[in-house]
């Protein structure tokens, strides 16, 4: 049997700017190997890219007896499960502990602790930011870390973003660029501040954060606006650090050590006196120091903990004390490969087909979809009745999906208010990855079951609602997280998928299952094709016939459309004429008198006609 101490433990720290991996003998605090690689944030990296990232590291590191990983973007147990599974594919049968990068930073800070303190709080400010602490009882607390759109106070991104806004503000007030604006314009590689508009729309979080050193440089050269930006942004992060400390010490008397980590703090030592004065104004007995070791050493500690746990080859996770970890969300099993993932024999030579023949093939494949959907009319009719009942009782029809499925759900929901004059809340679409995912890929969003559940809870789903999960494979974690939350709230649930091989337990099966077999795609696995066509058709039928049953249609006319533009006002005019047989000017007068409400205009004209 090999002595574990003759081999290395490996600690990997993955952040928004870079990855650092250390190999060390067990118990040693000098590295056998140290390598750097590109950034890796779990929420922004696909499974395949993450696996490739680790495989690249593996070729440059010694064989490990245990692995510890601290990674940005790890928030939930689902995240940990996903990360562990990826590690297991690269390093099979190796014990591993994983958590977010703040845990590894805190472990690294503890290695060099020389102060006897009751509470230790890490202030991390790099591309993003967060505060994380632990007290002597092992209780932890976290503040911040909500990402650059909702938080990341005092981060490189926040400072750069605030600097850009301040530069534009100065330009508008004075008509000229100040030193801050000139520095930022040059660093962003642009010649005209007008170009910032387009640049900000396409720039990544990391690219924006890279401008933060220019804000610090402007402040160091006497620019008062840059100084104010930094003071304000750092103040927001220091406030979070004090909130974190207060959660771990309700008395306000405990001795707290604040440890500064991340590139923003470590590369700007001249701001340390300011930071100390702000923190000690509230916590006079506090100790403030910079993180002396790379936080990757904290990941080494996690690896040593995994090895010491005696778990052998089992993949494990470090469970942060004081934080409840939800169990994995159950999903149906698939007894076979989803047809959408199989190769279509008709398109095996797609790359060599003449364009006209390829067009005929795609049209032929799509032409089969309506007939296939028709075989599910009984289940679809039941879903329509459930949606009607939900809306009549004050509930909602909610679509939930990822990728193409989610986008089509959002599209169908967004068309209901103009077509049927429905309140926006009647039919809602929820997309994994949020609004950004509507126009660009948000890697990993579909794998986050916790986010799916949270999305439903934020909308206060209840027993009055119907929630339709849309997933081509039928097994998307985000969708099943949302369906689980809907079931817990007593809502009726449905699944629209294109995998007839799903096996449900009785407690897991939704009220309605539409498992439609459209067969293999022309382009293998591209479910935006036939599966996407089928999804659009099913949602068209569902929302349209639900609104028909709710009285939003007379004959085959939209009697409750919202005439918000010239085209729709012309349509409204034609509908009123068609239903009442009046002259155009009479129809227009009635519509104007009813505030362009078609149904009201028709009723008014019919009442006048009945009294003649």
Examine the residue annotation and report whether 292 is marked as an active-site residue of this protein.
no
Token code pair at residue 344: 């279509």
State the catalytic residue, choosing from 13, 78, 446, 521.
446
Examine the residue annotation and report whether 446 is marked as an active-site residue of this protein.
yes
State the catalytic residue, choosing from 276, 415, 454, 578.
415
Angle between helices 566-580 and 584-593 (to 10 degrees): 110
CA 269 to chain centre: 34
Q: How many CB atoms lie within 10 A of CB 433?
A: 21
**591: alpha, beta or left, given left = phi > 0 and alpha = psi -120 to 50?**
alpha
Q: What are phi and psi of 3, to 5 degrees?
A: -70, 120
Q: Nearest to residue 237, comparing CAs of 154, 124, 339, 320? A: 154
What string of DSSP letters covers 503-571?
A: E--TTT--SEEEE----S-SSTT-TTTHHHHHHHHHHHHHHHHHHHHTT-EETTEETT----SHHHHHH
Token code pair at residue 317: 């996770």
- Distance from C-alpha of 88 to C-alpha of 67, rounded to nearest angstrom: 10
CA 579 to chain centre: 47
DSSP state for residue 329 in the 8-state scheme:
P
Residue 465's contacts (CB-CB under 8 Å, 6 or more residues apart) are: 390, 395, 396, 397, 398, 486, 489, 491, 492
Token code pair at residue 299: 């990941």
List the catalytic residues. Answer: 415, 446
């Amino acid at each position: 049997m090999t002595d574990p101490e003759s081999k290395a433990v490996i600690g990997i720290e993955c952040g928004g700017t870079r990855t650092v991996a250390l190999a060390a003998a067990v118990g040693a605090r000098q590295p056998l190997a140290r390598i750097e690689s590109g950034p890796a944030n779990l929420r922004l990296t696909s499974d395949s890219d993450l696996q490739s990232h680790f495989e690249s590291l593996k070729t440059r590191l010694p064989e490990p007896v245990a692995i510890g990983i601290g990674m940005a973007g790890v928030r939930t147990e689902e995240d940990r499960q996903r990360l562990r599974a990826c590690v297991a594919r690269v390093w099979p049968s190796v014990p591993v502990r994983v958590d977010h990068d703040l845990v590894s930073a805190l472990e690294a800070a503890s290695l060099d602790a020389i102060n006897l303190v009751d509470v230790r709080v890490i202030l991390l400010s790099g591309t993003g930011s967060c505060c994380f602490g632990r007290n002597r009882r092992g209780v932890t607390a976290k503040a911040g870390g909500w990402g650059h759109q909702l938080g990341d106070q005092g981060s490189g991104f926040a400072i750069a973003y605030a600097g850009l806004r301040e530069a534009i503000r100065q330009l508008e007030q004075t008509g000229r660029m100040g030193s801050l604006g000139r520095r930022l314009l040059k660093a962003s590689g642009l010649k005209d501040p007008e170009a910032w508009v387009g640049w900000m729309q396409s720039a990544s979080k990391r690219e924006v954060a890279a401008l933060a050193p220019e804000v610090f440089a402007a402040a160091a050269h006497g620019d008062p606006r840059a100084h104010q930006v930094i003071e304000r942004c750092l103040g927001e992060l220091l406030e979070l650090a004090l909130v974190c400390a207060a959660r771990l010490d309700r008395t306000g008397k405990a001795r707290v050590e604040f440890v500064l980590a991340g590139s923003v703090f470590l590369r700007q030592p001249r701001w340390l006196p300011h930071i100390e004065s702000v923190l000690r104004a509230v916590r006079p007995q506090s100790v403030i120091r910079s993180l002396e070791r790379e936080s990757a050493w904290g990941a080494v500690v996690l690896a040593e903990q995994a090895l010491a746990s005696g778990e052998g080859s089992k993949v494990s996770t470090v469970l942060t004390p004081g934080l409840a970890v939800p169990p994995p969300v159950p999903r149906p099993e698939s007894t076979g490969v989803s047809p959408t993932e199989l190769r279509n024999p008709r398109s095996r030579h797609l790359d060599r087909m003449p364009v006209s023949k390829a067009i005929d093939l795609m049209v032929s494949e799509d032409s089969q979809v309506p007939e296939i959907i028709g075989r599910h009319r009984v289940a679809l009719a039941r879903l329509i009745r459930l949606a009607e009942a939900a809306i009549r009782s004050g509930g909602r029809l909610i679509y939930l999906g990822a990728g193409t499925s989610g986008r089509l759900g959002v599209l169908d929901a967004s068309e209901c208010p103009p077509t049927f004059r429905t309140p926006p809340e009647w039919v809602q679409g929820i997309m994994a990855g949020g609004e950004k995912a509507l126009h660009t890929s948000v890697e990993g969003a579909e794998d986050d079951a916790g986010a799916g559940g949270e999305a439903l809870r934020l909308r206060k789903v209840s027993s009055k609602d119907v929630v339709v999960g849309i997933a081509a494979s039928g097994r998307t974690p985000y969708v099943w997280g949302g369906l689980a939350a809907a079931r817990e709230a007593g809502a009726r649930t449905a699944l629209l998928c294109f995998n007839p091989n799903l096996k449900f337990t009785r407690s897991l099966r939704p009220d309605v299952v539409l498992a439609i077999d459209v067969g293999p795609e022309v382009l293998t696995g591209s479910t935006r094709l036939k599966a996407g066509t089928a999804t659009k058709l099913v949602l068209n039928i569902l929302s349209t016939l639900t609104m028909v049953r709710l009285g939003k249609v007379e004959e085959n006319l939209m009697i409750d459309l919202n005439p918000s533009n010239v085209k729709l006002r012309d349509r409204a005019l034609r509908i009123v004429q068609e239903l009442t047989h009046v002259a155009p000017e009479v129809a227009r007068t009635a519509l104007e008198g009813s505030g362009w409400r078609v149904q009201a205009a028709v009723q008014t004209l019919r009442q006048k006609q009945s009294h003649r």
